[in-house]
A and B are shown apart, each in its own frame.
Chain A
Amino acid sequence: MGIAVLGAMGGLMYVKHLQSENEILTLNNAKLEGAVAEQQKVIEQQLKDIAEIRDINKQLQSQNEKLTADLQVANEKFNKVNASGERRDIGNLAVSKPRSIEIIEGRREKQRARCFEIAQGSPLTEEEINATKKSEINAECPNIANPNYVPY
């Protein structure tokens, strides 16, 4: 009889212990599920960030390519090669003839300002419309300032 009671008590304690362990495991499981959900959110956000970074990189690359092309055009324009194959160096010109370069830049600056005016809607003057020679055009933006000028 005593043995049976002891056995029943032992069984009861074992069941209680199992219940207690089960509660702990359930709690841990809930915590883990919460952590997994959090991690999933973080991963989703990271994937979004990566996609955005890729887009920005693409845009930057595209802008960089445009700037490189513009720089090459400007380089060809300013440091052009003459008939003898010698490359003109604006820096050297500025050192040798600073006043001349200053005057040219002053003229170009006025032309650039006029380009902005035209771009903002200012009507073309008769002179601008009738310009057909290179010496008559606005060298900074002939495509908008001198509609009758055909590059030659």
Chain B
Amino acid sequence: MRDTVIEVLSNHFGKDKSFDDGINLIDDLGADEFDIVDISITLDEKLNISLDEEAILEVKTVGDLIQLVESNVQSN
């Protein structure tokens, strides 16, 4: 799961970036809120899940995103 999230993030932001758990999507990777929605759609498609539309906007870090995806996969 983690690998898929990192792969999606690196496709989106560039393979030269760091995607450690503490990395902030907006402050460290330069994302805006629309980027986060875009990433959530890609993850939905890749993992056949449906990330919560409100919860996705509360995600701050790479770790938060991985956690949200994992909890979503488990509940499916």
Contact = CB atoms under 8 A, between A and B. Distances in A.
Interface in B9-54: 10-15, 24, 26-27, 30, 32-35, 37-38, 40-41, 44, 53-54
B56 A83 contact: no
A130 to B, nearest CB: 14
B13 A83 contact: yes
- In this complex, the interface size class of chain A, counting residues with CB under 8 Å from chain B, is 20 to 34
Given A83-B14, A88-B35, A104 B57 contact: yes
Contacts, number: 61
Interface string A7-28: 0000000000000000000000
A136 to B, nearest CB: 8
What is the size category of the interface that chain B forms with chain A? 20 to 34
Contacts of A97: 37, 40-41, 53, 56
Interface of A: 78, 82-84, 88, 90, 93, 96-101, 103-104, 107, 133-135, 139, 152
30 contacts: A78-B34, A82-B11, A82-B13, A83-B11, A83-B15, A84-B11, A84-B12, A88-B35, A88-B38, A93-B34, A93-B37, A93-B41, A96-B41, A97-B40, A97-B53, A97-B56, A98-B53, A99-B53, A100-B40, A100-B53, A100-B54, A100-B56, A101-B34, A104-B34, A104-B37, A134-B26, A134-B27, A135-B24, A135-B26, A152-B30
